[in-house]
Amino acid sequence: MHLFRKDVPLLGSGRPHASAGRVEAAPFGRSEAGGPDVGAFTLDNGLDVVVVPDHRAPVVTHMVWYRNGSADDPQGQSGIAHFLEHLMFKGTERHPVGAFSKAVSGLGGQENAFTSYDYTAYFQRVARDHLKTMMEFEADRMTGLVLDDAVVAPERDVVLEERRMRVETDPSAQLSEAMAASLFVHHPYGTPIIGWMHEIEELNRTHALNYYKRFYTPENAILVVAGDVTADDVRRMADDTYGRVTPQGARPVRVRAREPEPKALRRLAVADPKVEQPTLQRLYLTPSCMTARDGECHALELLAEVMGGGSTSYLYRKLVMERGVAVNAGAWYMGSAIDDTRFSVYAIPAEGVSLEKLEEEVDRVLRRAPSEALTPEAIERAKTRLVAETVYSSDSQSSLARIYGSALAIGESIEEVRRWPSDIEGVTPARLAAVAERYLVPQRSVTGYLTKTREADA
């Protein structure tokens, strides 16, 4: 799992009171060693429940995670998971459109929702005394959603406009989409979470309801409550609300194509007059925390920190401080995924340095990384930073809820979340060198150039 950094793509619904990050915006971390006394149980209808006590204030964060994301969109219906997330705010048989949001606002709370490749989540943050009210509303829209064309068509227009604003007018987002599509030639991680424009235009009420009926069931959901509560409190309220939802009998099966082993390096470029800063980006296909073997996930996570985690990292030191060919450089790893994922290296050229020259320097530095970057001192600094940042992240109640919810939604266990700091501490220099040499190789990569053109050239 990861800290709240730029590695897990999320797409928000744009609801009030919370940020709906960019398409490539990001993720969460793990709790500190030991951590809170987390409770977990499963209701009779199959709903998994996680309780994360935090008694510092009489406040709770209430989150419902569904084990479906954009990578589960049916072929030809890209963007349906995100579209349905929007439609979930359009009312139920019991509560008309806006009633849920009005109730949250009237109680002085906050709410939002987001879609990722592997999950969709809805959350509210309210005073402890209003937790059951949130459960009642959320349990109701798990099965009671009402849709008609009068709300579906306008909301589809909202999503289309969201795509225009976030992607169609943003060359950086266009490059990110193109690189993902090139890296994942067969797997749905190559399709943007928001969907392709021409497929969003065709989404309709039937698509949304079919998807809703398939995935929005108690046995496919995880309830996470973090805050001033006990497991017994949550169990009693959950039984009275979510426990009344009838299960479908079995969790829906996720059917995804497997990405073939890459054999050829790929290159692409986006040139646009709106580009203010040329950028070099590189993606490598790597295992995720769910597909890695023998601790490779933790090694890749630590490698990204050693290589590109800030101004003391190897890439920054070599490319910015010593060689002066870049004004910024770094790396990140998106380990929190069900299937094989991506490791990224990026650099922004200094004045007068071409992207071709910068790429040569990046490749030279990467070739030397196993022998130069992985010193005992650098590794220990990176471990300290990762674990310390996670401890700080875990001090937030909402972050704790996201930590556990995102982990369980992709198939990790509570024990794996709690064990993460010690797993990071146990990564050896030899393991770091091994994953660098195995995965950071040309045939597993996609290299992208973002460049500025003149209006006449464009």
For helices 296-308 and 414-425, what crossing angle results, to 10°?
A: 50
In the numeric block, which tokens belong to residue 231?
């497991």
Residue with tokens 């009312």: 91
Residue 7 and residue 336 in contact, taking contact as beta carbons nearer than 8 Å: yes
Tell me the pLDDT of the chain (458 aa) as tens digits.
443 333 457 777 544 333 233 233 233 333 344 567 899 999 999 999 999 999 999 999 999 999 999 999 999 999 999 999 999 999 999 999 999 999 999 999 999 999 999 999 999 999 999 999 999 999 999 999 999 999 999 999 999 999 999 999 999 999 999 999 999 999 999 999 999 999 999 999 999 999 999 999 999 999 999 999 999 999 999 999 999 999 998 899 998 999 999 999 999 999 999 999 999 999 999 999 999 998 899 999 999 999 999 899 999 999 999 999 999 999 999 999 999 999 999 999 999 999 999 999 999 999 999 889 999 999 999 999 999 988 887 788 899 999 999 999 999 999 999 999 999 999 999 999 999 999 999 999 999 999 998 655 54
CA 19 vs. chain centroid, Å, equals 14
Please name which of 6, 7, 5 lies closest in space to residue 289, comparing C-alpha atoms.
Answer: 7
pTM of the predicted structure, to 2 decimals: 0.91
Maximum distance among all Cα pairs of the chain, rounded to whole angstroms: 67
Under DSSP, the state recorded for 246 is: P
Domains of the chain: residue spans and CATH: 39-244 (3.30.830.10), 266-451 (3.30.830.10)
Residues marked active site are found at: 85
What distances in angstroms separate CA 319 from CA 59, 189, 283, 333, 346, one per listed residue? 46, 30, 18, 20, 11
pLDDT score, position 22: 28
